[in-house]
Amino acid sequence: MSRALLEVNNLKTYYAIDKGGLFKKETRYVKAVDGVSFRIREGEVFGLVGESGCGKSTTGRSILRLTDPTDGEVLFQGKNLVTLPEKEMQRVRRDLQIIFQDPFASLNPKMTIGQILEEPMIVHGIKEKAERKKRLGELLEAVGLHPSHANRYAHEFSGGQRQRVGIARALVLRPKLIIADEPVSALDVSVQAQVINLMQSLQQQYKLTYLFIAHDLSVVRHICNRIGVMYLGRIVEQGDCEKLYENPKHPYTQALLSAVPVPDPNWQRERIILHGDVPSPINPPVGCAFHPRCPYAMDICKTERPEFREVENGHQVACHLM
């Protein structure tokens, strides 16, 4: 687990919300992703967490070019996906797959599960029908379904089973990296653990690397090796999962973690309540974007953006307190 499979450098994804024109001087942008950098090593699970609207899903979609990045670099096996011609990008997508949050919305209701799983194989040139059928049966069994389920439609399954189909579809081309975009947040709590356990065992079986996007920190702890915490389009803390859970450094990470239930009733974290809403990404606060909500904000936080600093081996934080 040493070579970087994916390297994201200073990725930016901005959406223009109105154009500058005759009477307007400048175009305004929603800065959904504003300078995100991280690396994922082969065989690793990297978690990207933060509140809704922090830019974590847009980061995942920008990596796959499902939305166009504005700037930055996404190096996958040495190729910069941001500038890759579309035709070559289609070939790379075979190695890069996504699991969507809402399994029902992402499965075509008019197609059987077999047709849904065969479609990417046909698009990517697996011509032999027997080979497709064989792979289909193997995959359905691998995700805990029966090969006969191939003849059914998505509405005939429960939410957990549909997400198993979503996982099978992501695996069908034997990818190297899977971007799992909130893969369990639409599921009942009782089913979430089953799907996480399944993803963990498939990771071993198929030697997968995951980018695991979630808003719930208690979910990512069980599956991730490292975590990046995002706030308003930027990563504010990143490091080894256990270290970050046991000793979070950034005040925002501390607040997020204080809301996670602890299994030991004799040891509870003090809950940190964040006041105010997440500021608008159209007009983010100057300096540290977290300063209007931070209980430790100082004068410098209102004017200077904190640099990302290494506070211990492999643990980086963007905060003037460090």
Say how many residues make up the chain: 322
Q: How far is the CB of 39 from ligand SF4 (least distance, A)?
A: 24
274 is a site residue for ligand SF4 (CB under 6 A): no
In angstroms, how far is the first alpha carbon of the chain from the final one?
A: 29
* Residue from 196, 262, 211 nearest 46 by CA: 211
Q: Which stretch binds ligand SF4 (CB under 6 A): 37-45, 141-149, 239-247, 287-295?
A: 287-295
How far is residue 47's CA from residue 139's CA, in Å, rounded to a whole number?
A: 25
233 is a site residue for ligand SF4 (CB under 6 A): no
Per-residue binder mask for ligand SF4 (CB under 6 A), 237-266, x = binder: -------------xx---------------
Q: Which stretch binds ligand SF4 (CB under 6 A): 111-119, 212-220, 253-261, 298-306?
A: 298-306
* Residue from 40, 23, 127, 122 nearest 76 by CA: 40
User: Cα angle vertex 152, ends 150, 153, to 5°?
Assistant: 120
Which member of 33, 168, 214, 294 binds ligand SF4 (CB under 6 A)?
294
* Residue from 107, 123, 230, 210 nearest 166 by CA: 107
284 is a site residue for ligand SF4 (CB under 6 A): no
286 is a site residue for ligand SF4 (CB under 6 A): no
* Residue from 214, 215, 206, 219 nearest 172 by CA: 206
297 is a site residue for ligand SF4 (CB under 6 A): yes
76 is a site residue for ligand SF4 (CB under 6 A): no
Q: Which stretch binds ligand SF4 (CB under 6 A): 97-105, 181-189, 215-223, 291-299?
A: 291-299
In sequence order, what are the beta bridge partners of 36? 11
Report the residue number, 278 or 288, with the smaller CB distance to ligand SF4: 288
Q: Which stretch binds ligand SF4 (CB under 6 A): 53-61, 82-90, 163-171, 294-302?
A: 294-302
The total of other beta-carbon atoms located within 10 Å of residue 81's CB is 22
Q: How far is the CB of 285 from ligand SF4 (least distance, A)?
A: 9
3-state secondary structure of 139: helix
Report the residue number, 55 or 251, with the smaller CB distance to ligand SF4: 251
* Residue from 244, 254, 228 nearest 308 by CA: 228
In sequence order, what are the beta bridge partners of 29? 16
Report the residue number, 17 or 286, with the smaller CB distance to ligand SF4: 286
Orientation angle between helical segments 113-123 and 159-171, nearest 10 degrees? 20
232 is a site residue for ligand SF4 (CB under 6 A): no
Can you give the binding site for ligand SF4, defined by CB under 6 A?
250-251, 288, 290-291, 294, 296-298, 301, 306, 319-321
